[in-house]
Amino acid sequence: MSEKSCDTKNTCACAAAAANVQDPAKRDFMVLAASATAGIGAACAGYSLIASMEPADDVRAMSSTEVDISGIAPGQEKRVTWQGKTVFVRHRTPEEIKEAEADDKKQMIDPATDASRVKAGKDEWLVLVGICTHLGCIPNRVPEGWFCPCHGSHYDDSGRIRQGPAPKNLAVPPYKFISDTKIMIG
């Protein structure tokens, strides 16, 4: 009989402990605390993930290039680097502009007018990505425009392909005049 009374006592103690653990207020607090901890952890992980996808500061710095054009005389060009690419900034002479406009009427491999390749009112300035559209060589300046020594592509004074294996004109990067003496490429 004494064993039965022990079982009864143990059962009563277990029931009291079980009743204590199943207190609704304590359970709600534990659920709330666990949910808050999980939510804060997810927010921290999400912020870190999104922040890691942002471009680095050095990449942002390369996204645009400011060019001082005040020292470029008519008939000269300046080569700058934008996004790892060579860019020609050419101050064209009135003769070069006339020749380029006259070439608008000629048959072209990649048709484009001179006016579509310069900014209105600033047609003396030509900005081109100086990479041959055939295999990526850098063309050299010649009196008629640019010549790619790798495979013989010829470009006119507006950067349009005239002869050779290149399929397209030299690209015009996005640019704008931020003052009379500065251009922002990119």
Which of 91, 134, 151, 154 is catalytic? The answer is 151
91 is catalytic: no
Q: How far apart are CA 182 and CA 145, in angstroms?
A: 24
Other residues' Cβ atoms within 10 Å of the Cβ of residue 56: 8
Q: Is 152 left (phi over 0), alpha (psi -120 to 50) or beta?
A: left
Q: Of the candidates 45, 83, 70, 116, which has an alpha carbon nearest to the alpha carbon of residue 186?
A: 83
Tokens of 145: 């425009």
Q: Which residues are catalytic?
A: 151
